[in-house]
Amino acid sequence: MSMSSQDAVHCLGHLLLPTPPGISELYARQAVYRAIAAMDRLIRSLIRREQPISKKRLIDQFPEMSMPGAPRWQTALTRSLGLLENNKEYNSGVQMATLDDEGVPRVRTLGSRGLLHPKGCPNLPVFVFSTDVRMEKAPQMRKHPHVEFVWWFRGSSEQYRFSGVARVITSPDVDLGPAGPIQEDTLALNKLGEQGFDWEKKMGELYDEGDDNGLRASLNRPPPGTRIPTYETAKEWVPEVPRLGHAKDDADRQRQEEGLRNYALLLVEPFEVDWCELALSPHQRTKFRRKGDAWEEWPVVP
- Read off the pLDDT of residues 18-30 as tens digits, 9 standing for 90 and up: 544 554 444 454 4
pLDDT number for residue 23: 47
Burial class (CB in 10 A: 0-12, 13-18, 19+), 72: middle
Options 2.30.110.10, 1.10.287.1770, 3.30.70.980, 3.40.470.10; CATH for 92-300 is: 2.30.110.10
pLDDT number for residue 54: 33
pLDDT number for residue 43: 47
- CA distances, 237 to each of 232, 241, 272 (Å): 10, 11, 42
d(CA 185, CA 188): 9
Mean pLDDT computed over every residue of the chain: 83
pLDDT number for residue 171: 94
Tell me: pLDDT of 8 over 50.
Answer: no
- Read off the pLDDT of residues 209-260 as tens digits, 9 standing for 90 and up: 876 767 899 999 999 999 999 999 999 999 999 999 999 999 999 999 999 9
The residue-averaged pLDDT of 120-147 equals: 96
- 165 contacts 254 by C-beta, under 8 angstroms: no
Whole-prediction pTM value? 0.77
Band of residue 31 on the pLDDT scale cut at 50, 70, 90: low
Domain boundaries, the chain: 1-89, 92-300
